[in-house]
């Protein structure tokens, strides 16, 4: 199956696109998009891969589901389009960066600026029906995103994986810990953050410290 994804990813993911589950997934997504309002827009489903090419990956952040509100999701986990109000988890991410690095809280919640520096913003499920969180889970997307993590783990080295919350932490079994760094904390959602499981994790300065130790360019968060 020919999937519209950046060419740098095709050698590593074509085997997934050719599997029966992925064809069933495509049929499901097409049917949902034809019957309901779904997010992100069809041409942005693989946006994370368009903005962060395989050879450029430095960091992987794993989310669970796209935002399901109007105009929010555009294919990058935790990110929203320019001009859209910041969702609570993104607010807490920016607050932690502000505390950790002393940088001012940004106006835009669009994280393409991270992706272009090698931060893969990967949702485990890449699509969702409007106003129905989790509606496209367990249809095949998780198998695909697990394969993405496995391919990165196998074919790259010195990647920093940021695993926030129990769901993301469960993906650590897919990662070669001898080759890569894994930083874990609670989820930035208010429920977790307000219980003290998010703020103070200093993941952004820790990530840049790891890059500096390896002689790599730090991420401008």
- Which amino acids are annotated catalytic? 65
The stretches of the chain forming alpha helices (DSSP H) are: 10-17, 20-35, 47-51, 88-101, 112-115, 141-155, 165-169, 190-193, 203-213
Cβ pair 39, 133 in contact under 8 A: no
| DSSP characters over 145-160 | HHHHHHHHHHH--SPE
Cβ pair 181, 159 in contact under 8 A: yes
Alpha carbons 189 and 178: distance in angstroms, whole number: 30
Residue 117 sits at φ, ψ, to 5 deg, of -100, 5
Joined together, the tokens standing for residue 170 give 């469960």
Residue 197 sits at φ, ψ, to 5 deg, of -95, 0
Q: What is the number of other CB atoms lying within 10 angstroms of the CB of residue 96? A: 21
Q: CA nearest 58: which of 142, 162, 148? A: 162
Cβ pair 127, 29 in contact under 8 A: yes
């Amino acid at each position: 199956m020919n999937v519209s994804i950046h060419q740098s990813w095709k050698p590593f993911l074509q085997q997934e696109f050719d599997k029966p589950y992925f064809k069933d997934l495509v049929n499901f997504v097409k049917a949902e998009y034809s019957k309901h309002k779904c997010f992100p827009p069809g041409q942005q489903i693989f946006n994370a891969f368009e903005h962060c090419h395989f050879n450029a990956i430095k960091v992987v952040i794993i989310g669970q589901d796209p935002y399901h509100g109007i105009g929010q999701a555009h294919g990058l986990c935790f990110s929203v389009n320019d001009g859209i109000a910041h969702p609570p988890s993104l607010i807490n991410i920016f607050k932690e960066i502000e505390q950790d690095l002393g940088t001012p809280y940004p106006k835009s919640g669009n994280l393409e600026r991270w992706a272009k520096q090698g931060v893969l913003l990967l949702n485990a499920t890449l699509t969702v029906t409007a106003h129905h969180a989790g509606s496209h889970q367990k249809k095949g997307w998780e198998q695909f995103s697990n394969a993405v993590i496995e391919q990165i783990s196998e074919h790259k080295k010195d990647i920093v994986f940021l695993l926030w919350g129990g769901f993301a932490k469960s993906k650590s079994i897919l990662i070669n810990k001898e080759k890569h760094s894994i930083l874990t904390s609670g989820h930035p959602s208010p429920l977790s953050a307000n219980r003290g499981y998010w703020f103070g994790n200093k993941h952004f300065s820790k990530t840049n410290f790891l890059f500096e130790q390896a002689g790599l360019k730090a991420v401008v968060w």
